[in-house]
Amino acid sequence: MTLLAIESSCDETSAAIIQDGRILSNIISSQWVHQQFGGVVPELSARAHLRWITGITEACFTEAGITKHDLTAIAVTYGPGLMGPLLVGVNFAKSLAYSLDIPVIPVNHIESHLYANFLDGNHPGLPFIGLIVSGGHTLIVRVDEGFIYRVLGQTRDDAAGEAFDKIAKMLGLGYPGGPQVDKLAKTGNPHFVELPRPMIHSGDFDFSFSGLKTAVKIYLNSNKELASTHINDVCASVQDAITDVLVTKTKKAAIAHGIKDIVIAGGVSANSRLRSAFNELSEKQGYRIFLPPPVLSTDNAAMVGLLAELKSANQTLQPNLELSPVPNLVI
Ligand code: KG4
Ligand code: ZN
């Protein structure tokens, strides 16, 4: 099976070629136009996708050493995401599939993040616990056989990535803020500011990050000078608070369900502190932790293709231009 996969849900235009579980090419173009606005502007994002999608797809074919006539199907992210940007990817995929008379496979973006961990035959076993942490979502799921998902908990307000981005903005760092906080935190003291760990002891698996954001705001308002000379320490304190909550709650879910395989996914899974905290959990307490390679943590088309291939392995694909939501995961 040879798949072209397309991802355009937010500010990364990406195309990939997947063949029998291997990534032959995966090209990601990040849109820097949003930096000046401190967040993604949907209309600008849609226009940038439109400008780049054809060239990126052609480059993908060249890198993979195939042509469009070798394709079995085209996988595309249908949501969740920004409407304009999604429409660019979906219509591109549908048009190309129509011209080649091959099927389109609609893929849920959140679900696909998990499958950035399904590379080289090193799969987690079923059932597994998944922590999906991105700019728009933060949730813990239990995944059983047949791609059946149970959402165990999710954020009641901001996503973890959103908290990173908004706090970074308060600190005068650029967008996206997560990678910048991560970089500065490397030389910072995580105990410099005492920050809350919202909902860490709640009896459920939900999260809340807006109170943490407020706590940082209050701290900055009354410690302007100190904070400006200790920005690395503030970043390390913020990162530690977010990581602490994510790791503690994921571990609680794994214990409650008696599951040892934990899959971490989404943009925030690129965070170095989060990665080391989960690796520590694996070394000290015997959990099998699956973390994607950093390039597959943030949005990319390879994960879309990997999931589409797994899902279609047991189904007969028909040329189908109607995109209906995949029923298993409704978020
Ligand atoms: O999954 P993703 O690429 O896009 C969405 O689906 O939202 O996630 C983007 C989020 C942003 O909030 C970004 O700041 C965060 O992932 N992120 C990070 C790091 N790299 C990306 N957060 C913390 N540390 C990082 N190294
Ligand atoms: Zn994403």
Q: What are the DSSP calls for 192-224, one per residue?
A: SS----TTTTSSSS-B--HHHHHHHHHHHHH-H
- Cβ(298) – ligand 1 distance below 6 Å: yes
Same domain for 310 and 185, yes or no, is no
pLDDT by residue for the chain (331 residues), tens only, comes to 999 999 999 999 999 999 998 999 999 999 988 888 888 999 999 999 999 999 999 999 999 999 999 999 999 999 999 999 999 999 999 999 999 999 999 999 999 999 999 887 778 999 999 999 999 999 999 999 878 899 999 999 999 999 999 999 999 998 899 999 999 999 999 999 999 999 999 999 999 999 999 999 999 999 999 999 999 999 999 999 999 999 999 999 999 999 999 999 999 999 999 999 999 999 999 999 999 999 999 999 999 999 999 888 766 554 444 444 443 433 3
CA of 277 to the centre of ligand 1 (A): 17
Same domain for 239 and 318, yes or no, is no
Same domain for 75 and 133, yes or no, is no
- Cβ(305) – ligand 1 distance below 6 Å: no
Cα separation of 204 and 257, whole Å? 13
CA of 137 to the centre of ligand 2 (A): 8
Same domain for 92 and 175, yes or no, is no
Cα separation of 96 and 75, whole Å? 11
CA of 219 to the centre of ligand 2 (A): 30
Whole-number Cα distances in Å, 108 to 61, 211, 266, 325: 24, 29, 13, 8
Residue 303: inside a domain: yes
Strand 104-108 and strand 22-30: the pairing is unpaired
Strand 2-7 and strand 12-19: the pairing is antiparallel
Residue 20: inside a domain: yes
Residue 175: inside a domain: yes
Same domain for 282 and 147, yes or no, is yes
CATH number at residue 276: 3.30.420.40
Same domain for 19 and 67, yes or no, is yes
CB 10 within 8 A of CB 17: no
- Cβ(89) – ligand 1 distance below 6 Å: no
Same domain for 265 and 155, yes or no, is yes
Residue 309: which of 79, 78, 19, 104 has the closest Cα? 19
Provide the whole-model pTM.
Answer: 0.93
Same domain for 252 and 275, yes or no, is yes
The residue segments making up the domain with residue 234 are 124-291
Total number of domains in the chain: 2
- Report which ligand 1 atom has the smallest distance to the Cα of 165: 14
Helix 231-257 to helix 177-185 angle (10° resolution) is 100
Same domain for 134 and 175, yes or no, is yes
Same domain for 189 and 229, yes or no, is yes
